[in-house]
Amino acid sequence: MIQESARTGIVQKDKETVALIPEIKFGMLTPETLEKLASVSRKYEIPAIKITSAQRIALVGVKPEHVEAIWDELGMEPGHGLGTGLNYIQSCPGTSVCRLGQRDSLEMAERIYDAIKPLGIESKIKFGVSGCPLQCGEGAIRDIGVFGKKATGWTVQIGGNSGLNARVGEVLAADLEDDRLIEVLTKLMVYYKENMKPKERMYRFVPRMGGVEEIRKAIGLE
């Protein structure tokens, strides 16, 4: 039996092959990375390549005996596709290329990743970061959403969710400059880590703690 992990892959329907998901931060790729993915897919006769909702690329239908060779040839780390922790940060391109971007969402996504990843949250956490209020980073339906405005700074939403239990996140804080945003998110995630039930998602955590107003008070925003 195949043991699933980020490195060994996610077992597919046929129970004989796996999907490998390399770490691709914020959906940004280089031509060189695309060429590597295409090359190993041809070499190892991988039948499908899928773009995931986490802005990653999954190599689907990999034979288990090829897994280690594929990782070696890609030279990439496995993405966090299983279990708990910082599952992903979805981001729009922000001011880097988008004509509508008001804030640098890619740089902020990197800062959030560096601040939150080491906390070791034992629940699945999904972030959405957008460089303007149009929210192409889909933060309104993620555990934590962040969007920017040029004049006033960043807004934080919490408790969003997609799927069967769809829920739009509520505003926790607004008009935050870069350093203050990281401070607020860190306080929020520490509070979450200390008070969450095992594997409890943010959309359940927020109402259980009394709502956004109570969380705001608890982390010193009021």
pLDDT of residue 79: 84
> What mean pLDDT value characterizes the chain?
94
Question: What is the pLDDT, as a whole number, of residue 83?
Answer: 58
Would you list the DSSP string of 176-203?
A: E-HHHHHHHHHHHHHHHHHHPPTT--HH
Query: What are 177-202's pLDDT values in tens digits?
Result: 999 999 999 999 999 999 999 999 99
**DSSP H helices in 57-137:** 67-74, 105-116
Closest CA to 147 of 121, 123, 169: 169
Question: Domain spanning 85-218: which CATH class is it, in words?
Answer: alpha beta
Measured at the CA of 214, the angle between CA 210 and CA 217, to 5 degrees, comes to: 165
Q: What percent of the chain has pLDDT over 90?
A: 81
Q: In this predicted structure, what is the pLDDT of residue 81?
A: 62
What digits encode the pLDDT tens for the residues 112-154?
Answer: 999 999 998 888 899 999 999 999 999 999 999 999 999 999 9
Least confident window among 82-91, 103-112, 166-175: 82-91
Taking the alpha carbons of 43, 71, 10, 82 in that order, is the dihedral positive or negative?
A: negative
Q: At residue 97, what are phi and psi to the nearest 5 degrees?
A: -140, -20
Q: Across residues 92-104, what is the average pLDDT?
A: 95
CA-to-CA distance for 87 and 168, rounded, in angstroms? 19
- pLDDT at 44 exceeding the cut of 80: yes
pLDDT at 34 over 90: yes
Under the banding of pLDDT at 50, 70 and 90, the label for residue 174 is very high
Sheet holding 170-176, edge to edge: 85-91, 124-130, 144-149, 153-158, 170-176
The answer to whether 106 and 91 are in contact (CB under 8 A) is yes
How sure is the predictor about 82, in pLDDT bands with cuts at 50, 70 and 90? low
pLDDT value at 30 more than 90: yes
% of the chain residues with pLDDT over 70: 98
Beta strand extents in 8-133 (DSSP E only):
10-11, 18-20, 48-51, 57-62, 85-91, 124-130
CA dist 210 → 81, 206, 217, 218 (Å):
31, 7, 11, 11
Q: What angle is formed at CA 59 by the lines to CA 57 and CA 61, rounded to 5 degrees?
A: 150
Q: Which of 18-22, 31-35, 38-42, 78-82 has the lowest mean pLDDT?
A: 78-82
Task: Quick: pLDDT tens for 55-76.
Answer: 889 999 999 999 999 999 999 9
